[in-house]
Structure 1
Amino acid sequence: MEEDYIKLIFGLKLKQIRTEKNLSLFGLSKLSGLSKSYLNEIENGKKYPKPDKIALLSDKLEVPYDQMVSLKLDKNLAPIGELLQSKILKEIPLDLFGIKESNLIDIVSNAPAKVNAFISTIIEIAKHYNFSRESFFLASVRSFQEANNNYFDDLEQQVLKFAKAYQVDLTKSPTSKELEEILIEEYGYKINENELAKYEDLESLRSVFIPKTNTLLLADGIDEAQRTFIYAKEIAYNFLEISDRLHSFPWIKFERFDQVLNNFYASYFAGALVIPKEELTLKLEELFEKETFDAELFTKMLNGFNASPETFYQRLTNILPKAFNIKNLFFLRITHRANSGKYYLNKELHLTHHHSPRANETNEHYCRRWMSLKVLEDISKSGNSHEFGVQISNYPSHENQYLIFSSATQDPFRENQYRSISIGLLLNKQLERKVKFLEDENIIRKDVGVTCERCAIQNCEVRQAPAIVLKKRERNRKIESIVDELTEKFQV
């Protein structure tokens, strides 16, 4: 274990033993002959006493020496010990959020019982929602994105620097052939397109990188956009000099948080390379200047870049906050198997924290009025390669409205499997200033909920389950109201 954590655990144990014996720091100082300031530093994890001092404290507190130096904490402090021994605080770059590890240690040492209760609560919530280490790290990356409005100028500048160095024309999307040439000539890559196809269990993987031989294994059947994005990510790892990285796409395991964070950096770089900022900004300005929504222009813009719909929508979450000051937005990816009746929200980003929906009601039915779900239903029936829809969604329960753009595509590697990508922009004064077609009567307007179980919309023709959560809340409000009336009636 880290030396600092050993100090902290000893300090926690000493403080617990002292308080159980109803001793103040002053009292322990008088009892042991050690100074109050020295004991305070021990309890706060700043110092670890020498063996003779531990023996002295063991004798005066009547606690066995072995128990004093053991790293095992009793059940009341065990969650804190588990947290410290897991080294998770070391894995997460707290400096990204402006937090010093020493500050957290001070909080833990100064109020161990309260912090322990908090940690225990978080652990219970995590268990209830099957919240894994992977989920925690991904949530940390999302929080980092949200804290920066998902725009990272240093990465944007690195893309410009790369384009200049390798004479890549950023007035258009680069092709996979251009990027492949750079990987081979500049970074010594070997491209293998046959090996992955030999393994049926690897059908979900698009690529695997073998660092020892600089070999990139590509899945059979990936399209031009996927190939270009994979090449762009590999270039990012090399150009940004990132060695602590993930080696498969999509990734299947990680060892450290830095690998997850670096994967995000490489993906951001790749998105910025295949969808150049200036070109996308100009096209969005043209779209937003129109008095009516031009669906053909939107799909032309989407198809005009050598990128998948998911990469395009992700790129919108970078550019809209920076170039148009549209920061109140969310991004969703939902997957669906035809005729299954089930929809899975498996990727999301919320640049302001009050947005719905969120992928936490795992056992509830997402609202079938969402455009995200409608385009999935449409594509599963039509057999088209792409379905697009736009809608103004009104959430009566939140008093918010969103302009929603959604695209659905078929998963080329899974039969009857589809995904929709959506971006929702909060209707407010800023959006009204930037987007002129908001009053277009041809845009569908619908009241929507989050899940059927929480929705108050009456006589909904697509409701999948009764509003049991809402009814329970209403029943509790009635009970509370009656109790208040009784209290007022009989307190006279």
Structure 2
Amino acid sequence: MVGKLFIGRKVREIRESRRLSQSGFAERLGISTSYLNQIENNQRPVSASVLVLLAERFQIDLDAFSLNDSDRILSMLTEALADPVFASYNPSIHELKLVAQNAPGFAQALLNSHRAYKRNSEQLASIDGQSANGAGEPTAYEEIRDFFHLVDNYVHDLDMAAEALADRLGIPDENVTQALVDHLASHHNVQIRRGAPHETSQRRFDRASRTLFLSPYLPAPTRNFQIALQIAVLEEEERIGEIVGKATFRSADARNVCAAGLRNYFAGALLLPYRRFLQAAKELRHDLELIAIRFDASLEQVGHRLSTLQRPGHKGVPVFFARVDRAGNITKRHSAAKLQFARYGAACPLWNAHQAFETPSQIIRQLAETPDGVRFLCVATELSKARGGFEAPRPRYAIALGCEISYAKDFVYADGLDLTNRAAYDPIGISCRICERVSCSQRAVPPLKSKLSIDPDVRDILPYRIVHGPES
């Protein structure tokens, strides 16, 4: 375990859930009450020996002490506090860690307030100053993005239900399409028919005739996903409603969008059942193409599923995943790794996701390092979605995923790369607005909290010099 582990809030929650006093809990662990008090107040880190005792004497999975949630909140706080509105406050990383680990509710409230401020500022700067959902309110998609981000993109109840159904249907060993079709017919009296050639919808369910119409132009992975999605609609609405109800969304739009996202989640988990998929990812060393063939899935489905492998006690490699359009918009995003995507502004232009458009249908690799010194193996490829015919539009986008370099050897894409050569790593950032690199030729805008120095007699890579802290 790298670094000092300050997990006082989690230790206190374990003690209180057992209804033990500090003295009783300390006695069970074989440590002094004063030491436990210091741990719970984050005055001292938890040692490896205490972690082992917690696991052995209270049957605690060591994964419960993962700081992934705190890391994500820490990343979000760091970006939010880079805003000039907080110019008078420069917290240390230690302060932010304490807030993220011990007061996540307060941190989330601060992030919500900052998000409201950002939206209000954008509205005031717009032509009409109006917004369809009210000043300062987050959009439905922003709420859903944060919901999946903070649950680690893993929804346990839905995932378990999908895996149980996959086991009953023999997925992926049986013919997946036939298994899904037979299940709809036998359990729901639903028949599948080809949609009319001129229809634009991929899937349309006629409840009166119990008929599911599918576009005749869908590739097999998309067709299977749409059938699985219909199963989610017919079987999982109650479970999905309970999950949505507990999330306390602000609007009906957010609740509806979240329900749609959870149906998609169930469909993906049904086609790529957790244990079988995790085993295949390990055996095939995360080779996207081979995994896709084994499960008759698309590369995008495989990449997205890899980012959800966060089941307690059975976690996969922490993976980040994103889908990027040609304008640089990140249309899907999730990170179980330390790499976090920018919530505002565009992604770093040095990231290989953008390069993927220059080499269609090829998988490209990149060794990258963020300004905090963390190194990553990044993989990206360009995909297109054709929906029939020469004149049909062909949306193009890139999918990108990767892991921290400590996990790189679990990926076939690391073969032949010199992981120890620092010069092999491209310097990337999260976004220009919070990246402090001073000599990046691809910088679009200066970092928010830095001062600029402009010398009329000198022109370097940038037309200005970035000054960190007060100028002398």
In the TM superposition, residue 223 of structure 1 has moved relative to its aligned partner by 0.7
Structure richer in helix, relative to its length: 1
Out of 204, 207, 221, the residue aligned to residue 208 of structure 1 is 204
SS in 2 for 1:334: strand
- Name 1:177's counterpart in structure 2: 178
- Name 2:90's counterpart in structure 1: none
Query: Structure 2 CA distance, aligned partners of 1:180 and 1:333?
Result: 30
Out of 338, 342, 346, the residue aligned to residue 331 of structure 2 is 346
- Compared with structure 1, are the counterparts of its residues 417 and 273 closer, same or farther at alpha carbon in structure 2 (3 Å cutoff)? same
Q: Percent identity?
A: 16
- Compared with structure 1, are the counterparts of its residues 355 and 131 closer, same or farther at alpha carbon in structure 2 (3 Å cutoff)? farther
1:481 pairs with 2:470: yes
Query: Structure 2 CA distance, aligned partners of 1:233 and 1:400?
Result: 38
For residues 397-417 of structure 1, give each alpha carbon's deviation from its aligned partner in whole angstroms, at most 9, with x where no partner exists. 332222223232112135453
For 1:421, the aligned partner's letter is I
1:423 pairs with 2:401: yes
Give yes or no for contact 1:449–1:457 (8 Å, CA) kept in 2: no
- Name 1:360's counterpart in structure 2: 344
SS in 2 for 1:198: coil
Give the number of the structure whose alpha-carbon radius of gyration is greater: 1
In the TM superposition, residue 207 of structure 1 has moved relative to its aligned partner by 1.9
- Compared with structure 1, are the counterparts of its residues 399 and 280 closer, same or farther at alpha carbon in structure 2 (3 Å cutoff)? same
- Compared with structure 1, are the counterparts of its residues 318 and 450 closer, same or farther at alpha carbon in structure 2 (3 Å cutoff)? closer
Gaps of 5+ in 1: 1-97, 108-113, 246-253, 289-294, 337-341, 380-385, 486-492
Relative to structure 2, which stretch is displaced further, 472-481 or 216-225? Answer: 472-481
In the TM superposition, residue 233 of structure 1 has moved relative to its aligned partner by 1.0
Give yes or no for contact 2:353–2:400 (8 Å, CA) kept in 1: yes
Spell out the pairing of 1:445-456 with structure 2 (5 A cutoff).
Answer: 445-451=425-431, 456=437
Give yes or no for contact 1:387–1:409 (8 Å, CA) kept in 2: no
- Name 1:405's counterpart in structure 2: 379
For residues 248-274 of structure 1, give each alpha carbon's deviation from its aligned partner in whole angstroms, at most 9, with x where no partner exists. xxxxxx954333222222212211111
Give yes or no for contact 1:456–1:467 (8 Å, CA) kept in 2: no
Give yes or no for contact 1:172–1:276 (8 Å, CA) kept in 2: no
Query: Structure 2 CA distance, aligned partners of 1:357 and 1:390?
Result: 19
SS in 2 for 1:311: helix
Give yes or no for contact 1:389–1:405 (8 Å, CA) kept in 2: yes
In the TM superposition, residue 375 of structure 1 has moved relative to its aligned partner by 2.0
Query: Structure 2 CA distance, aligned partners of 1:275 and 1:244?
Result: 19
1:270 pairs with 2:267: yes
- Compared with structure 1, are the counterparts of its residues 241 and 437 closer, same or farther at alpha carbon in structure 2 (3 Å cutoff)? closer
In the TM superposition, residue 209 of structure 1 has moved relative to its aligned partner by 2.9
- Name 2:294's counterpart in structure 1: 304
- Name 1:441's counterpart in structure 2: 417
- Compared with structure 1, are the counterparts of its residues 131 and 322 closer, same or farther at alpha carbon in structure 2 (3 Å cutoff)? farther
TM-score by length of 1: 0.56
In the TM superposition, residue 435 of structure 1 has moved relative to its aligned partner by 6.5
Query: Structure 1 CA distance, aligned partners of 2:312 and 2:364?
Result: 25
- Compared with structure 1, are the counterparts of its residues 159 and 325 closer, same or farther at alpha carbon in structure 2 (3 Å cutoff)? closer
In the TM superposition, residue 345 of structure 1 has moved relative to its aligned partner by 1.6
In the TM superposition, residue 448 of structure 1 has moved relative to its aligned partner by 2.3
In the TM superposition, residue 418 of structure 1 has moved relative to its aligned partner by 1.3
SS in 1 for 2:401: strand
Give yes or no for contact 2:172–2:295 (8 Å, CA) kept in 1: no
SS in 1 for 2:344: coil
- Name 2:165's counterpart in structure 1: 162
In the TM superposition, residue 235 of structure 1 has moved relative to its aligned partner by 0.8
TM-score by length of 2: 0.58
Query: Structure 1 CA distance, aligned partners of 2:354 and 2:113?
Result: 40
Give yes or no for contact 1:180–1:231 (8 Å, CA) kept in 2: yes
Give yes or no for contact 2:382–2:398 (8 Å, CA) kept in 1: yes
Query: Structure 2 CA distance, aligned partners of 1:448 and 1:118?
Result: 25
- Compared with structure 1, are the counterparts of its residues 304 and 455 closer, same or farther at alpha carbon in structure 2 (3 Å cutoff)? farther
- Compared with structure 1, are the counterparts of its residues 472 and 176 closer, same or farther at alpha carbon in structure 2 (3 Å cutoff)? same
When the two chains are superposed, the root-mean-square deviation of aligned CA atoms in Å is: 4.2
Out of 216, 219, 237, the residue aligned to residue 215 of structure 2 is 219
For residues 430-469 of structure 1, give each alpha carbon's deviation from its aligned partner in whole angstroms, at most 9, with x where no partner exists. x379669868526774222445675747575xx4xx5441
